Amino acid sequence: MLRDTLTRMHRKAWISGCSGTALTPDERVFFADERPWGFILFGRNVESVGQLTALCASLQEFGDGQELPIFIDQEGGRVRRLKPPLAHPLPAGQALGRVYDKDRQAGIAAARAHGRLLAADLRRYGINADCIPCLDVAFDGAHSVIGDRALSADPDAVAALGRAMAEGALSLGVLPVMKHLPGHGRVQVDSHYDLPHVHADRAVLEAVDMRPFKALSDLPAAMTAHILYEAIDRARPATLSPTVIADTIRGTIGFDGLLMTDDISMKALRAPIAESAGQAIEAGCDIVLHCNGDMAEMRAVAGAVPVLAGQAARRAAHAMALIGQPSATPVDVAEVWSEYQGLVEAVA
């Protein structure tokens, strides 16, 4: 099956957003020509059950009979593109850490249920990949861009909860994407608007920030951080750094899965977008993520990335093989929701 997928997936190494609640005629022509590996949805793309289901179906038309990955950032708390009543009202990751602090087994059960509920909500519409778990460790005094999204200040707790959440999503056939390698928690500025610098030495980064990622290095997909780690590469942020990707992400962390960039249009990357996209691929990222749906930017990114080949194609095929492959045991979503509420509300 993996070899089959590899031979059929002559697609470009990027994930694209789209502009609204339905594809425009220009987008249809563009996506047919440029063949992105997958798509990502945001709040601007969500209006109703029927509309979102139809949009996902229209995106799948570009798969030539093969299911394409459709991503979303649906963590819970303030990072959720689907809001009630379109999805369960799940809290931010910090709530799971509080359960874990009180009872480790209960925390792991809650995190697994969290992943299952996220996946059940997404599969309802045809969304099959979620940018979870957020494995960034919480730090006092850091910028709130991570904040309550962090599962814990304890990297081992982050790893345990993150694995349970990822397993929960995979059990319903939704691909998890752990983020943000090699660690976003201690930044002082928001990478959506500026380039954060991390000054911690490498030994500290390995012992704390990278620890959850190393523990979960067997997961199928991950996202880079647009952060400059001065102890590793003083000139380039992780997304654009061959040193960070080869020595730290592939080496120290040991991750050999599909590596995608964070949104290439974020202001932390100051070069023209085509240049950033090309540099990310050259640095060792497998896939470039572009989110804002701006056609001029999409054309620039599509023109800067190659067709998937070699190791990148192998990793992409492995990730795709997990999509839509739920466990054999059916999941009673109402039962999972009831269990989840009992676990989380007990420490609220």
* Each residue's pLDDT expressed in tens, for the chain with a length of 348 residues: 444 444 445 899 999 999 999 999 999 999 999 999 999 999 999 999 999 999 999 999 999 999 999 999 999 999 999 999 999 999 999 999 999 999 999 999 999 999 999 999 999 999 999 999 999 999 999 999 999 999 999 999 999 999 999 999 999 999 999 999 999 999 988 899 899 999 999 999 999 999 999 999 999 999 999 999 999 999 999 999 999 999 999 999 999 999 999 999 998 898 899 999 999 999 999 999 999 999 999 999 999 999 999 999 999 999 999 998 776 678 899 999 999 999 998 876
- Burial classification of residue 297, based on how many CB atoms lie within 10 Å of its CB (0-12 exposed, 13-18 middle, 19 or more buried): buried
Q: What is the pLDDT of residue 290?
A: 98
Q: What is the pLDDT of residue 6?
A: 44
From the candidates 64, 156, 192, 332, give the one annotated as an active-site residue: 192
Q: What is the pLDDT of residue 100?
A: 98
Amino acid at 346: A
Q: What is the pLDDT of residue 190?
A: 84
Q: What is the SS3 assignment for 113?
A: helix
Retrieve residue 304's tokens: 């800067």
Q: What is the pLDDT of residue 181?
A: 98
Helical residues (DSSP H) of 85-138, grouped into ranges: 94-102, 104-123
Whole-angstrom Cα distance, residue 297 to residue 344?
Answer: 42
Q: What is the SS3 assignment for 293?
A: coil
Q: What is the pLDDT of residue 325?
A: 73
Retrieve residue 261's tokens: 């960039």
Q: What is the pLDDT of residue 61?
A: 97
Closest CA to 15 of 336, 228, 280, 282: 280
From the candidates 130, 262, 263, 286, give the one annotated as an active-site residue: 262
Whole-angstrom Cα distance, residue 332 to residue 337?
Answer: 9
pTM strictly above 0.85: yes
- Burial classification of residue 50, based on how many CB atoms lie within 10 Å of its CB (0-12 exposed, 13-18 middle, 19 or more buried): exposed
Residue spans of beta strands (DSSP E) within the chain = 12-16, 36-41, 70-72, 74-76, 79-80, 129-130, 175-176, 178-181, 197-198, 221-224, 228-229, 258-263, 287-290
| Residue that has been written with the tokens 């080949």 in this structure | 309
DSSP 68: P
Residue spans of beta strands (DSSP E) within 215-337 = 221-224, 228-229, 258-263, 287-290
CA dihedral (146, 147, 151, 154) positive or negative = positive
Q: What is the SS3 assignment for 245?
A: helix
Q: Is 209 a catalytic residue?
A: no
Instruction: Note every long-range contact of 236-242, with CB atoms under 8 Å and residues 24 or more positions apart, other chains counting.
Output: 236/283, 237/195, 237/268, 237/269, 238/181, 238/182, 239/264, 239/269, 239/276, 239/280, 239/283, 239/285, 240/269, 240/276, 240/279, 240/280, 240/283, 241/283, 242/282, 242/283, 242/284
Q: What is the pLDDT of residue 1?
A: 44
DSSP 70: E
Determine how many CB atoms are found less than 10 A away from the CB of residue 348: 9
Q: Is 192 a catalytic residue?
A: yes
Distance between first and last Cα of the chain: 45
